[in-house]
């Protein structure tokens, strides 16, 4: 069911965005930033663990994810064909300091599983091109990561019951985030319409005043800059 | 008094904690988020700052933001409306950002930190830069120059700074208002040259070294001199509202020819053999040289005007343009001031420090006076636990994930821990002399964009092929960009063409100096094509371990000088944690990684 919905979503978004290299580049930039976000969470996990052997396994996993971010970055530049504005994620800690470290791997596992399925569907729907090529090896890696993170969960002492509960929590949290994103897009669309109306209604009356204000080249001294202290 | 300074919202978010007049901690958010120039609210930087003094936000006496959101909003609104009816997209995008978030910065800070709104205050953007320049200078009084892209309304500003009754007094003399911006013009040309604006202005400056300023008269028509010695920018060449969709107009390409595409190769090399230079490439370099020359002229004119208004021997200088080390050198050499101070981070990130320091000095019960602070204010980490993973890491597993062109060097890294600094420096200096590429990670990371010996990659300075390997397989950096030299204070006069009174200003890599011909071959990998180098003169007082390493290297080779470049993968900020450092070490062609007293060797 999820797969069918996701497939439909991907095909729809491809039909809408694939004609614009700018939008494709922006979508790929999103993948790049998401992979880099994964590296960030893995590194936070390393800092919380004690066992150097486990740290080494996660460290290698992090190298792979960083490499994926680089690959997406290179492909993004091919599609963008010019300068791109920066895209910054607000990094959020997933768990509190006193939460067990294995919970991070539950989050990563669900994320990797979703990414694998999404990338596979995307690759199936894409025409030949650099993004389709790049996705092949990335999908293989991500499948390995799904197994690795599940293995890490067990190795770190989480019981199957605890894992199942945590997976449900992570899925609910991701669903909530997705809903927020949809809501944000709807508000964004509405804001575009309203602000465009404001622009055309008020613009003719205020544009001249704005232009006059921009003509002030040198501003005299005043002490307004101190009044808010 | 405990004051937190915060800057965020455009680029280089940062936080700084000042306790009883002392800077306890300061960092850009990018070091924690691993996103270069991160503009988000500095959640992690704030938390780390508070942790340094075991404080919570409730313990803070005040939080100070680095700009006036309302003044900035009025400027953004005017700029978006003025081109009506052709600016709907810019208006909609900027209003979404401002009405949705940025206008409410004070409330955001209050709610994010859970402090009462009356505990959050702000300074104007350029005023923050002005106090940033003055507060750490150690001067009793000074003229202050701010040259930036844009803050609220001001783009450049002249101030007067002094101490009166134990309080800092910073008074505005003159401001040059938006859109007359030297910084934005430089960034627009940076975009024309195919580099990222607000990030790669250093590439424009480096490119200038390969050109001759044959277009200077054309650029002078764009950044016009005026009767009052304050420049004026001809706006018909630019579209400052949408940098990434087109920062310049057709008039600029009519004047200087087609812009460079981001994928067009650049044939120049700052050392080693030059590629074949096409007419287009030479044109780009000539335009860059012309822009650089005119920028220097206009900044020097501002200095002259400032000297007339504030007849001091001292100049404090900040703003994004203060990162242009070639222009800084012109101010030092040809400007009217005897002493020049540029803070360690003259950009927006550094305003988090200044706002907190200024508030404390202005409002605390104790009187204050001239003070100084250095760049080593960031986080430091105990490496033992993380470095131990090297014993279990198999580099063979990482082979598919190495950077392009990098060849694996075997199955295991070796790890050694040194008991004392002398033995460490002796070992590392030997490896450097043998031609190793060494990651040098020590103590607290630097405030600002420069690696000053705590998050650095080091190589010997006379080995050009080694520097080419560093550019290609470690830094992924274009060959036309030069490297900087780090040297001891004691050897600096043997290397640089520098007057003794300027030695101390060269401590933070903010100026370019000529190199003495007799040592040029021994520092060939650190010279730009024009024979200059961006120098860091390390002192035993400010950077004791780095100074010891340079000294140990000098004892082996006869000259205490190394190439010092920032320890960051291409597109990322300086490494922060030992794991960040090991990640870059694993994926690139670095040979040795020194994390505090632990040494990893491939």
Domain boundaries of chain A, sorted by first residue: 2-158, 161-217
Average pLDDT over every residue of A183-210: 95
Q: What pLDDT score does A223 carry? A: 52
Facing residues of B129 across strands?
none
d(CA B287, CA B291): 6
pLDDT above 70 for B500: yes
pLDDT above 50 for B295: yes
Secondary structure of residue B513 in the 3-state scheme: strand
Q: What pLDDT score does A227 carry? A: 45
Q: What pLDDT score does A14 carry? A: 73
Average pLDDT over every residue of B586-592: 96
Domains of chain B: 1-65+68-122+344-373 (3.30.420.40), 138-342 (3.30.420.40), 384-601 (3.90.870.20)
Pure H helices in B348-479 = 351-363, 384-387, 421-433, 464-470
Instruction: Please name the residue that has the structure tokens 């501002």.
Output: B302
Q: What pLDDT score does A7 carry? A: 74
Q: What pLDDT score does A85 carry? A: 76
Percent of chain B at pLDDT > 70 equals 99
Task: List the single best residue of B134, B389, B390, B571 to mutate versus A (max A Cβ within 10 A).
Answer: B389
Average pLDDT over every residue of B8-33: 95
Per the CB < 8 Å rule, is B84 touching A203? yes
pLDDT above 90 for A22: no
More confident residue, A141 or B428: B428
Mean pLDDT of all residues belonging to chain A: 86
CA distance B438 to chain A (A): 20
The answer to whether residue A88 neighbours chain B at the CB level (below 8 Å) is yes
Q: How confident is the model at residue B404 (pLDDT cuts 50, 70, 90)?
A: confident
pLDDT tens, residue by residue, B94-108: 999 999 999 999 999
Q: What pLDDT score does A229 carry? A: 47
Q: Which CATH architecture has domain A2-158?
A: Up-down Bundle (1.20)
Average pLDDT over every residue of B424-443: 98
Q: What pLDDT score does A101 carry? A: 82
d(CA A110, CA A48): 20
Task: List the single best residue of B73, B92, B411 to mutate versus A (max A Cβ within 10 A).
Answer: B92
Residue of B nearest to A184 (CA): B100
Average pLDDT over every residue of A224-228: 48
Per the CB < 8 Å rule, is A221 touching B172? yes
Q: What pLDDT score does A228 carry? A: 46
Per the CB < 8 Å rule, is B11 touching A211? no
Per the CB < 8 Å rule, is B388 touching A52? yes
Q: What pLDDT score does B420 carry? A: 95
Average pLDDT over every residue of B499-518: 94
CB B556 within 8 A of CB B564: no
The answer to whether residue A43 neighbours chain B at the CB level (below 8 Å) is yes
Q: Residue A17, class by beta-carbon neighbours within 10 Å (0-12 exposed, 13-18 middle, 19+ buried)?
A: middle
More confident residue, B192 or A19: B192
Nearest to B37 by CA among B595, B480, B585, B568: B568
pLDDT tens, residue by residue, A120-159: 888 888 888 888 888 988 998 888 889 988 888 888 888 9
CB B169 within 8 A of CB B162: yes
Q: How confident is the model at residue A3 (pLDDT cuts 50, 70, 90)?
A: low
Nearest to B204 by CA among B290, B146, B273: B290
C-alpha dist (Å) from residue B351 to B201, B347, B449: 20, 7, 14
Q: Tokens in use for B377? A: 């204010």
Radius of gyration of chain B (CA): 24
pLDDT above 90 for A30: no
Per the CB < 8 Å rule, is B577 touching A43? yes
Nearest to B548 by CA among B486, B500, B498: B486
pLDDT tens, residue by residue, B42-68: 999 999 999 999 999 999 999 999 999
């Amino acid at each position: 069911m999820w797969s069918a919905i996701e497939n439909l979503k991907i095909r729809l978004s491809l039909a809408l965005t694939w004609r614009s290299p700018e939008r494709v580049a922006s979508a790929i930039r999103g993948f790049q930033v998401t992979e880099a976000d994964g590296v960030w969470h893995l590194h936070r996990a390393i800092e919380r663990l004690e066992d150097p052997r486990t740290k080494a396994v996660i460290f290698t996993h992090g190298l792979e994810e960083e490499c994926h971010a680089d690959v997406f970055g290179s492909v993004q530049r091919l599609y963008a064909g010019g300068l791109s504005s920066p895209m910054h994620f607000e990094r959020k800690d997933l768990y509190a300091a006193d939460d067990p470290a294995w919970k991070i791997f539950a989050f990563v596992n669900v994320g990797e599983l979703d990414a694998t399925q999404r990338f596979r569907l995307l690759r199936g729907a894409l025409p030949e091109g650099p993004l389709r090529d790049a996705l092949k090896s990335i999908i293989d890696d991500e499948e390995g990561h799904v197994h690795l993170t599940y293995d890490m969960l067990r190795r770190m002492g989480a019981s199957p019951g605890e894992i199942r509960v945590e997976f449900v929590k992570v899925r609910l949290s991701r669903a909530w985030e997705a809903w927020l994103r949809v809501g944000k897009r709807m508000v964004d669309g509405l804001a575009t319409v309203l602000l465009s109306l404001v622009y055309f209604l008020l613009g003719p009356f205020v544009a001249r005043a704005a232009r006059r204000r921009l003509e002030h080249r040198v501003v005299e001294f005043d002490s307004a800059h101190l009044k808010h202290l | 008094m405990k004051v937190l300074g915060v800057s965020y919202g455009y680029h280089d978010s940062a936080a700084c904690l000042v306790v009883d007049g002392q800077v306890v901690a300061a960092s850009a958010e990018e070091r924690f988020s691993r996103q270069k120039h991160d503009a988000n609210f500095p959640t992690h930087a704030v938390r780390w700052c508070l942790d340094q003094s075991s404080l919570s936000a409730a313990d803070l006496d005040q939080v100070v933001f680095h700009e006036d959101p309302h003044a900035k909003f009025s400027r953004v609104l005017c700029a978006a409306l003025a081109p009506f009816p052709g600016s709907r997209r810019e208006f909609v995008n900027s209003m979404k950002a401002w009405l949705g978030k940025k206008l409410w910065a004070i409330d955001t800070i209050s709610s994010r930190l859970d402090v009462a709104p009356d505990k959050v205050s702000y300074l104007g953007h350029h005023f923050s830069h002005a106090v940033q320049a003055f507060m750490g200078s150690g001067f009793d009084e000074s003229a202050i120059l701010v040259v930036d892209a844009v803050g609220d309304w001001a783009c450049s500003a002249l101030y007067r700074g002094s101490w009166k009754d134990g309080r800092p007094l910073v008074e505005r003399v003159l401001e040059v208002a938006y859109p007359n911006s030297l910084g934005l013009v430089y960034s627009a040309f940076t975009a024309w040259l195919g580099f990222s604006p607000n990030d790669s202005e250093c590439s424009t400056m480096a490119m200038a070294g390969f050109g001759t300023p044959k277009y200077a008269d054309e650029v002078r028509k764009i950044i016009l001199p005026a009767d009052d010695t304050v420049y004026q920018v001809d706006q018909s060449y630019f579209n400052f509202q949408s940098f990434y969709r087109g920062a310049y107009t057709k008039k600029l390409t009519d004047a200087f020819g087609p812009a460079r595409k981001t994928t067009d190769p650049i044939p120049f090399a700052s050392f080693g053999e030059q590629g074949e230079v096409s007419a287009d490439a030479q044109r780009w370099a000539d335009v860059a040289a012309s822009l650089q020359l005119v920028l220097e002229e206009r900044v020097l004119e501002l200095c002259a005007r400032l000297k007339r208004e504030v007849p001091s021997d001292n100049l404090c200088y900040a703003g994004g343009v203060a990162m242009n080390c070639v222009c800084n050198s012109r101010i030092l050499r040809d400007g009217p001031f005897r002493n020049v101070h540029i803070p360690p981070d003259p950009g927006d990130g550094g305003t988090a420090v200044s706002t907190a320091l200024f508030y404390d000095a202005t409002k605390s019960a104790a009187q204050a006076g001239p003070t100084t602070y250095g760049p080593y204010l960031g986080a430091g980490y105990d490496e033992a636990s993380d470095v131990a993973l090297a014993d279990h890491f198999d580099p063979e597993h990482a082979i598919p994930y190495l950077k392009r062109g990098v060849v694996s060097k075997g199955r295991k890294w070796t790890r050694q821990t040194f008991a004392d600094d002398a033995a460490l420096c002796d070992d590392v200096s030997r490896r450097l002399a043998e031609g190793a590429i060494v990651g040098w990670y020590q103590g607290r990371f630097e405030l600002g964009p420069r690696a000053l010996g705590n998050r650095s990659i080091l190589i010997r300075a006379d080995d050009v092929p080694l520097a080419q390997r560093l550019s290609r397989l470690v830094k992924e950096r274009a060959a036309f960009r030069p490297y900087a030299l780090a040297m001891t204070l004691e050897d600096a006069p043997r290397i640089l063409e520098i007057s003794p009174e300027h030695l101390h200003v060269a401590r933070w890599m903010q100026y370019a100096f000529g190199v003495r011909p007799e040592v040029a071959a021994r520092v060939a990998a650190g010279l730009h094509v024009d024979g200059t180098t961006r120098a860091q003169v390390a002192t035993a007082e400010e950077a004791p371990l780095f100074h010891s390493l340079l000294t140990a290297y000098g004892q082996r080779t006869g000259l205490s000088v190394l190439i010092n470049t920032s320890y960051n993968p291409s597109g990322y900020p300086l490494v922060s944690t030992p794991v960040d450092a090991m990640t870059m070490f694993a994926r690139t062609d670095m040979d040795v990684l020194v994390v505090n007293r632990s040494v990893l060797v491939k």
